[in-house]
Structure 1
């Protein structure tokens, strides 16, 4: 299908921006939404084709409903709605202020619920449409110092599955999830921070463009879930199959690979307000961190084999 009408929430930066550029290259008609008007307009200029730009905070239900109405008024329908809007907070659970925790959940979980509600209202009327929710590897595993984000993404995973069950009566409606691993986007450096060190994506790190291409793939050929990340499957396996080993390793790994060495004072980041986009984060890695990742993968694999041998011996 060409010249689809595509709504993108979170379009001013990171994965949403990359998806907007990818859809524009295909010739689709775009509705771009995020909190920051200035960055949205820059993305619109890069896309060409006069996208509709609608500043929107997905955490505010009325704004999301207005966005859906504006898209239908302009283009007559919505074929695809891809949501990648998110904020993040670093720090131990008890160190993150309650209002910051609540706002992350409001944006990342309740905001996505607002998007789903508005999209399904239009899709039901049309009898078709594809909703793409950007989840995270952290919706399948857990990691310390990111409790609000992890809580949101686990909740979003449950919501998406429920929506798929509830739309079985409408074969033309699809609910999909993109599951990115580590991605070089601004979310790490713009996050609220109470950990004392600036966050960064642990290696291996993918580009936002690869995730944007994943969203286009889901729009072209909808499926329940698309996991994109070289370490996703191994990490998930370690989390599920070897909980004690995973829990023992994830803290040191997070401290070494998920946090940079750059110190930062406590700050709310962009949780409560839009911040100017600075694409990418401190994602460059030398030999030591990559070697540490390889060593951890070896430990997980060795532990898996050892656990399998022990089970086999007990069984025999």
Structure 2
């Protein structure tokens, strides 16, 4: 099996591991504490193997095509935050659910959107070049967007005293990835190691969702009643994000392959980057993490639809 085949089948891998985690957590409830302890190092490894594929030290290359970059920035950091805030009005006034939805919808993806761009006949070099810009901006702008969209009471659980462990879980792998990138580029033969690390995000994310499902079994049960409300919202986001990409591509006069890449960028979200922040929330806010995992599953099934819709219909 090659890596592209593995990534093409990842939705079924994650679904299987979630079901397995729910079964293990239901059968052996005492194991949830062990899963909670294992979750943090698993997240660190996942983020490192993901960030190490992002050209963090080549941010300047993202600006070679200014029209494409302008479309990416306008879509991910202006249009989609406005769309997320609009969709939020259809949710029940539940601070946990609203926070989980915003956490995941406000951050553009920096990893598997490249894979889907490749599978959907997009422009892969442009996708790779723009990833460090998306990553840096989402981390800088996420607190601003949350402050604007949530009232003070809802934003209180995200104070620095609460989330500093989550910040370390994200920042430390990012720094390690940047150091590794410099080390890889020092000798061409070391690139083979980075290619091997590129195999790890899918199995590590499968491990993470397995641990989440097993550790948060009670939160999953509490969130079941929310699925009929949240799932349609995530589906609507996917459809509207693609249509926004179509409009921006026309406005910026982007080539077809770049328009497809733009659609995959707007349609995919960085769910596991915000998971550490969801897990740092106080007791009683566990449903936020369940909402984030649910969005990633909806998104993956949505990407199967995108792979047909984007190249064959929307950007022919």
TM-score by length of 1: 0.26
The structure showing larger relative contact order (alpha-carbon pairs under 8 Å, at least 6 residues apart) is 2
TM-score by length of 2: 0.26
Larger radius of gyration: 1
Greater per-residue strand proportion = 1
